[in-house]
Amino acid sequence: MLLEVNGLTKAFAGLVAVNEVDFTVQKGEILGLIGPNGAGKTTIFHLLTGYYTPTAGTVLFNGKDMTRVTPPAACRLGLTRTFQIVKPLVQLTVLENVMVGAFAKIGNAKKAKELALEILEFTGQLACKDMLAGNLTLGMRKRLEVSRALATQPELLLLDETMAGLNSKEIADAVKLIMKIRERGITLVVIEHVMKAIMSISDRIVVINYGKKIMEGCPDAVCNDQQVIQAYLGADYAKR
Amino acid sequence: MTKWNDILKNRHLPAVLLALIALVLPLVLRNEYYLHLAILILLWTALGASWNLLGGYTGQVSFGHSVFFGMGAYVSLLLHTKLGVSLWMGLLYAGIAASLIAIPIGWICFRLRGPYFSLSILAFSEVLRLIVLHWKEVTEGAVGILLINSIVDSKVSFYYLMLIVTAIILLVVNFVVKRKLGFYFIAIRDDEEAAEALGIYTTRYKIYSLMISAFFTGVMGSLFANYTSYIDPYIVFSVGDVAIAMVLVVVLGGIGTFWGPLVGAICVVMVNEGSRLMFANASVLIYGALVVIVILFLPKGVVGSLKQYTGKWFHA
Ligand SMILES: Nc1ncnc2c1ncn2[C@@H]1O[C@H](COP(=O)(O)OP(=O)(O)OP(=O)(O)O)[C@@H](O)[C@H]1O
Ligand SMILES: [Mg+2]
């Protein structure tokens, strides 16, 4: 078991954002994490990578207790996340952004650059390597989050809505990229609102609503679950 | 012809030309006063470059670098006058001492962010000034320390010493910013949370940046002490004349740019001398006006604004 989450809870003043959530991630799989807006998905990523300290519960990564881990330590242990609200290093170029990620495991600038170039080729961003990250379109920024995280050579990659705001062609590319990342031997947990995409890439799906896990299963089972349709699709889809 | 084109297009050309000019300058400037101005420009370039590593590249604006400047000045002169340590070794010890006090200062101040960091480091400068002022048995207090024989005896030798040290500092800054350390500094400046997600222990790297910056500031404090041959706590721990002036040099020239400190140093020294000739002691007023002008018209400093127009002429 690569990741084991047990009774994970985060309470803010007056609000339990994550409430006794359990799930596991097997090596090599893609786990989808879905739920309506404000369900607590991003908070779970914050908890796994040390941006928040859990109020209760445990996280084991490769058997190692992660409940008190700091964000940089999580990354160096092989657990890297991206940000839903993208955080490009705006005064660096795309290549330099990815090099910063590469330096997590590589000390030498030349070797870091080699890895960064290889990653940019892999994610299809080589053409814009010399552009300032601050000048990229949203789609490119979302992808840069992924490239940069990949450069840290993670074992488990947490992607937070890397498809939000993309057009259908970009979404198709993003789906292909995620499948390629898995082929690279990297395990993924993917938060996504784009239903068709998340259903097509995930091996299993965990559904969160009001901080609680309400369902877990294969995409088909989740799609046909009455509780999910009511709580999630009912509430969220009705709005669109 | 193509050979000449290659030479002209080489991006090291400005640096090489500048170095050549700097090398022959004392042969041209026979006037002691002009040489003095050149020395001041070097002093402020080096101080600006040291400050820029932390403030410009790492994004941690310090209003209290006088703590390292004063530390360097006092350590080298005290070691020399009390223990007979050579002034040459004093330059090194000044840097080491400043770098060492940077560790606890950084450890405490980097818990605070933004303006709180900028100001808390200023408090340390004031505390150190008071200690030096009142610990008379060791530091001579307000009387200060007079240096009988300076590290070199002529102004021209002093100019070359200053030139070498300034060149070393610029080269080290240039070396650092192109490597992992520099990438990490800039990442911390651009987005601290993103930096952490990418495995950067941000507090640790801020302290590294502060230590390098403090080392060079300490060395420059020691060189300054040698140049004036006299120091007291009010001069070398001066928040206005040292700490804020360092900020001004960099902000004027272009924060986070390689040539910013040099351009800023030239501006500040010229303005300072000019205003002294014209308005006696109105330099504070002039500084204030300069800051307003820069903020209004050149928010990225001279080099930063030029860069916008000329593209890749100046490399960051
Ligand atoms: N630092 C915080 N302080 C207080 N409340 C917070 C904090 N961070 C998140 N919350 C709250 O916790 C709840 C869960 O937020 P979270 O960002 O995890 O949702 P999400 O599932 O990622 O939603 P979305 O799909 O919109 O991204 C929200 O109600 C949010 O307002
Ligand atoms: Mg979210």
Please tell me the pTM assigned to this model: 0.90
pLDDT digits (tens, 9 = 90+) for B22-78: 888 888 887 888 899 999 999 999 999 999 999 999 999 999 999 999 999 999 999
How far is Cα B316 from Cα B314, in angstroms, rounded to an integer? Answer: 6
Could you tell me if B133 and B74 are in contact, meaning their C-beta atoms sit under 8 angstroms apart?
A: no
pLDDT digits (tens, 9 = 90+) for B157-189: 999 999 999 999 999 999 999 999 999 999 999
Note the pLDDT of residue A234: 60
> Minimal Cα distance from A147: which residue of B?
B198
The answer to whether A166 contacts chain B (CB < 8 Å) is: no
Note the pLDDT of residue A238: 45
For A210-233, b/e burial (b = at least 16 CB within 10 A) is bbbbbbbeebeebeebeebeebbb
Is a pLDDT exceeding 60 seen at residue B281? no
Could you tell me if A218 and A204 are in contact, meaning their C-beta atoms sit under 8 angstroms apart?
A: yes
Task: Kindly give the distance from the C-alpha atom of residue A189 to the centroid of ligand 2, in angstroms, as a whole number.
Answer: 13
Among all chains, which residue has been given the structure tokens 């300072």? B272
Could you tell me if B122 and B239 are in contact, meaning their C-beta atoms sit under 8 angstroms apart?
A: yes
Per-residue pLDDT of chain A in tens (240 residues, 90 and over written 9): 999 999 999 999 889 999 999 999 999 999 999 998 999 999 999 999 999 999 999 999 999 999 999 999 999 999 999 999 999 999 999 999 999 999 999 999 999 999 999 999 999 999 999 999 999 999 899 999 999 999 999 999 999 999 988 888 989 999 999 999 999 999 999 999 888 889 999 999 999 999 999 988 888 887 777 777 777 656 555 444
- Residues in contact with ligand 1 by the CB-under-6-Å rule are A 12, 15, 17, 35, 37-43, 84
Note the pLDDT of residue B153: 84
How far is Cα A135 from Cα A26, in angstroms, rounded to an integer? Answer: 38
How far is Cα A206 from Cα A222, in angstroms, rounded to an integer? Answer: 8
CA distances for B136 relative to A114, B77, B140, B144, B239, angstroms: 58, 15, 4, 9, 21
Task: Kindly give the distance from the C-alpha atom of residue A43 to the centroid of ligand 1, in angstroms, as a whole number.
Answer: 6
3-class secondary structure, B278: helix
Contacts of B184 in chain A (CB under 8 A): 100, 103
Is a pLDDT exceeding 60 seen at residue B282? no
Beta strands per DSSP E along chain B: 145-146, 230-231
CA distances for B154 relative to A84, B33, B224, angstroms: 62, 13, 14
Could you tell me if B93 and B75 are in contact, meaning their C-beta atoms sit under 8 angstroms apart?
A: yes
Contacts of A93 in chain B (CB under 8 A): none
How far is Cα B242 from Cα B66, in angstroms, rounded to an integer? Answer: 6
Note the pLDDT of residue B278: 62
- B190–A72 C-beta distance less than 8 A: no
Is a pLDDT exceeding 60 seen at residue B269? yes
Task: Kindly give the distance from the C-alpha atom of residue A44 to the centroid of ligand 1, in angstroms, as a whole number.
Answer: 9
> Minimal Cα distance from B200: which residue of A?
A72
Could you tell me if B188 and B59 are in contact, meaning their C-beta atoms sit under 8 angstroms apart?
A: yes
How far is Cα A15 from Cα A28, in angstroms, rounded to an integer? Answer: 34
> Which domains does chain A carry?
3-83+156-238 (3.40.50.300)
Question: Of A230, A191, A216, nearest to A37 (Cα)?
Answer: A191
Choosing among B181, B183, B192, B202, which should be mutated to test the A contact, i.e. which has the most A CBs within 10 A? B183
Task: Kindly give the distance from the C-alpha atom of residue A40 to the centroid of ligand 2, in angstroms, as a whole number.
Answer: 7
First to last CA, chain B: 30
Contacts of A98 in chain B (CB under 8 A): none
First to last CA, chain A: 38
How far is Cα A191 from Cα A168, in angstroms, rounded to an integer? Answer: 18
CA pseudo-torsion sign B232, B237, B238, B243: positive
Atom of ligand 1 nearest to the CA of A39: 21
Atom of ligand 1 nearest to the CA of A36: 25
Q: Where does the pLDDT of residue B315 fall: very low under 50, low under 70, confident under 90, or very high at 90 and above?
A: very low
Could you tell me if B165 and B22 are in contact, meaning their C-beta atoms sit under 8 angstroms apart?
A: no
Note the pLDDT of residue B310: 59
Q: Model ipTM?
A: 0.91
- pLDDT exceeding 90 applies to what percent of chain B? 50
Mean per-residue pLDDT over chain B, rounded: 87
Q: Where does the pLDDT of residue B301 fall: very low under 50, low under 70, confident under 90, or very high at 90 and above?
A: confident
Note the pLDDT of residue B284: 63
Could you tell me if A152 and A98 are in contact, meaning their C-beta atoms sit under 8 angstroms apart?
A: no
Contacts of B189 in chain A (CB under 8 A): 91
> Minimal Cα distance from B176: which residue of A?
A109
